[in-house]
Structure 1
Amino acid sequence: NKITKRITTWQAKTLSYAGRIQLISSVITSVFQYWMAVFLLPMRVLKSIEEVCNKFLWGVGVNGRKRAPVSWSRVAMPKMEGGLGIRDFKTWNKACVLRHLWNLLAKAGSLWVAWIQKYRIKGNDLWGIAANSVSSWVWKKVLKCREVAHDHVTGTGSSLTWDGKKLVKYSVKTVWNSIRIPSSSVDWFSVLWGGRISQIGVPI
C-alpha cells in the first residue's frame, strides 16, 4: 500500500521516462529494502510490487486494468542483456536473505549469530538441520535459502568461499548476479527497446 500510494502521488506529476526508471531503482526499492533484507517476502507480495512498478514505468495507470506493454521479466535485467538495469526483486530478495546464511557459516561475531548458534544450530551441521514445529517463519525461510547456496558455498569460517572465491565482505550485488538466470547479451541496447519504446512515445 505504501508503494502504491507513493507511485499514485508521482503519477500526478510530469515525469520523464528516465525519471521513472530512477525512481523505481532507488526510491521504491528503498521503501521495502529493509524487509527484503530480513526475510523472503511472499511471492504474491513481490508479484504485486512488480506489477505496480511496471505499470508506473510504462505510464498505464497503477489502478487501471490496462497492462504494461512489456513484461517485468524483460525489464528487470541488466542493460547489456536488453533490460533497463532494474534488478529482479525476487532474486534480489534471495541474495539479501542469503547474507544471514553466509554470516552463520562465516561465524560472524554478532549477537544474532551467537543466539542462532546456541539455540537453533546447537553444534550441529547447518546444512543438515531441519526446522521444527516451534521454528519461526523467518528461520524457516533462512534455512530454505540453503537450496540456493548449496551450489555456490564451500567451507566455513575463514575458509568460506562463494563460487570458489573469498569475499572480503558479503556483497548482495555479487551474489545476486551469481544466482540469477542470465540472458544473452545484446550488441545494442536500443536494438531491442527502440522500436517498442517509440511506439508508446517514450524516447530512448
Structure 2
Amino acid sequence: MVGRSKKATFSFIKDRVWQKISSWSSKCLSKAGREVMIKYVLQAIPSYVMSIFRLSNTLLDEIEMMNSFWWGHGGSSNRGLNWLSWEKLSVHKNDGGMGFKDFVAFNVAMLGKQGWQLQTKPDSLVSKIFKARYYPNSNFLDAKLGHNPSFVWRSILSAKVVVRQGARWKIGAGFDIPIISEPWIGSGSSIPPVGDDMLALQPYSTANLWHLIASSIHQFDNAPDIIFNLLQSLSAAQNENIVTIMWSIWKARNMKLWQQVSDSTFTILKRAKHLLEGWRSANRKKSLLRHDNSVSTLNAPQQNGDTNVRWRKLSIGRYKCNVDASFPNNSNKAGFGMCIRDSDGNHVRSKTMFFSPVCSIDVGEAMGLHHAIRWIQELQLTNVDFEVDSNRVADYFNKGRGDATEFGSIMDSSIYFSNTYLTNSHVEFIMRQANEVAHTLARVATSNTSLHVFDDIPACITDLIFNKMI
C-alpha cells in the first residue's frame, strides 16, 4: 500500500543503496571495480520498483549518491571530489561518458514497457483487470486517468507518451478502423465530426463550380466515388480549380482547428488561386526547360553536371533546406544535419540531431528528410525547396508509393506532412559536392549529446556558407 508520502514509502531504496556503498568503504576497488559495482549491483536495486511505480525526481536525485562512490572511496568520511555530474556520466562511453543509467529515463522506459504489454497483450490477466477498471471501451493508448486511480495506474499512464511515440502501425483491410476517433492528424488529435460550421459549400458556390459537383453528390454516396467521377467527367482546367479549392478548404479547416484562425470565403479562394497559378507557372517553366534542353543537346550535359555539383541560388521569396545524414563507423548512431538559406544564400537557421541505434543508409536519409519537413512545419515556413544527396529518397518522394518497408513508411509520412502542411515545396536530388554544408553538420551531430538549433552560422560551416555566396 502506497501512502501519501511517496518519498517515505520508497526511502528504503535509498537506504539499501547507502548500505551497499558503506559496506564497500573498506575495500580497495579500482575504477573498473567501481564501475562494475555501480552498474550491476547499485543500479539493479531499484529496477523492480521502477517497473511498477513512477519515483519522484527528488528521490532519484538522492539515489544518485553513487556519484560520490565513483569519485571517492565510499562511506561518509571520504567522499572525494565529483569532477563530473551524474548527467554527464550517464552519457554513452562512445560520447565521453561512463554509460551509467539515467534513472529518470530508465524509470519512464520501464513503465513504458508495462504500457506496451497492456497494449499488445490484451488477453493477459493484468491487462483484463486494468481494462475493466480504467478503459473498458478503448485501448491503452486512448485510456484516460479516470476517477480515483491507483498510484500504479498513474505511473504507467505517465509513460503513455513514450509508447505512442515509439508505436508504428499500418492500415490493413481497414474494416475495424474508427475513422472519427483515431488520430489521423499529424499533431495526434482526431478528426471532429463534420458540422454546419465546416466550410465546404460556399467556396464552390462562389467560384461557380457547385453545379458541376452537385450531380455527382446525388449520384454517389461516398467521397471517393464522387471525386473520381469528377476527375473523369470534367475537363483538366475544371479539375484543377476543384482540387485546389478542396485543398484550400482543408487548409482552412486545419487552421480553424489548431490555430483558431477563421478564413473567409475570399481568403480560401485567393489561396487556391495562388496555388493554382504557382503550379501552372512551374509546369510552364518545366516545359520550357525541357524544350531548351532538346534544342541545345550539346551544352545540356555540361550545364546539368555543373548545377548538380554546385549550390544554386533561388528565386526571390523562396527558401532552400539542405539535408543529409552521416553514419560514422565508430559510433552506434546516425547524425542528421539541415541548413536553411534564403534566395541570396544567407544563413537563416541550421540544426543538428542524431538517432540511435544506427540504421541503414536509405532509412537514415529518409529520417533526415522527415525531421527536416517537420522542422520546417514548426517554423511555419512556406515555399521551401529541400535538397538531398540520396537519389532513392528524391525519386520516392516525387514518384514512388506503396513500399511496405520501414523506408517506405517513413517516406509516406514525409509525403503526407509535406502535402498537408507545406505550401509549394519540393524535394530535389543533388550531388554530395553541392550538399557539403548539410553533410558537415550531420558529421558534427554524431559527436553531440543532444540536438542543437543555430540561429547564427555554426563555426564548422562558416567558410562553406560564404564560399557558396561568392
Normalised by the length of structure 1, the TM-score is 0.70
Does the CA-based 8 Å contact 2:89-2:100 persist in structure 1?
yes
Matching of residue 150 in structure 1 with residue 412 in structure 2: no
Inter-partner Cα distance in structure 1 for 2:166 and 2:88? 26
DSSP 3-state at the match of 1:104: helix
Inter-partner Cα distance in structure 2 for 1:103 and 1:70? 37
Inter-partner Cα distance in structure 2 for 1:20 and 1:147? 35
Does the CA-based 8 Å contact 1:75-1:83 persist in structure 2?
yes
DSSP 3-state at the match of 2:140: coil
Name whichever structure is richer in strand by fraction.
Answer: 2
Q: Which residue of 1 aligns with 2:447?
A: 185
Does the CA-based 8 Å contact 1:82-1:185 persist in structure 2?
no
Structure 1: runs of 5 or more not aligned:
157-176, 187-204
Alignment-mate amino acid for residue 90 of structure 2: A
* Structure 1 ranges of 4+ moved more than 3 A: 60-67, 183-186
Matching of residue 119 in structure 1 with residue 133 in structure 2: yes
Answer 1 or 2: higher relative contact order, Cα 8 Å, separation at least 6. 1
Cα gap change, 1:66 to 1:132, in 2 (>3 Å): farther
Inter-partner Cα distance in structure 1 for 2:168 and 2:25? 47
Matching of residue 57 in structure 1 with residue 70 in structure 2: yes
- Per the TM alignment, residue 150 of structure 1 is displaced from its structure 2 partner at its CA by 2.5
- Per the TM alignment, residue 73 of structure 1 is displaced from its structure 2 partner at its CA by 0.7
Alignment-mate amino acid for residue 68 of structure 2: K
Does the CA-based 8 Å contact 1:60-1:68 persist in structure 2?
no
Alignment deviations for residues 141-197 of structure 1 (CA, whole Å, 9 cap, x no partner): 2111122233221349xxxxxxxxxxxxxxxxxxxx68xxxx8438xxxxxxxxxxx
Q: Which residue of 1 aligns with 2:42?
A: 28
DSSP 3-state at the match of 2:129: helix
Q: Which residue of 1 aligns with 2:124?
A: 110
Cα gap change, 1:108 to 1:130, in 2 (>3 Å): closer
Matching of residue 18 in structure 1 with residue 32 in structure 2: yes
Does the CA-based 8 Å contact 2:72-2:81 persist in structure 1?
no
DSSP 3-state at the match of 1:122: coil
Does the CA-based 8 Å contact 2:109-2:159 persist in structure 1?
no
Cα gap change, 1:31 to 1:45, in 2 (>3 Å): same
Alignment deviations for residues 85-109 of structure 1 (CA, whole Å, 9 cap, x no partner): 2221211111111111101111254
Inter-partner Cα distance in structure 2 for 1:149 and 1:125? 13
Report % sequence identity. 27
Aligned to 1:129, which of 119, 131, 143?
143
- Per the TM alignment, residue 62 of structure 1 is displaced from its structure 2 partner at its CA by 4.9
Q: Which residue of 2 aligns with 1:3?
A: 17
Structure 2: runs of 5 or more not aligned:
1-14, 171-355, 358-444, 449-470
Matching of residue 84 in structure 1 with residue 346 in structure 2: no
- Aligned residue pairs total 161
Q: Which residue of 1 aligns with 2:349?
A: none
Pair member with larger Rg: 2
Does the CA-based 8 Å contact 1:36-1:96 persist in structure 2?
yes
Inter-partner Cα distance in structure 2 for 1:54 and 1:184? 26
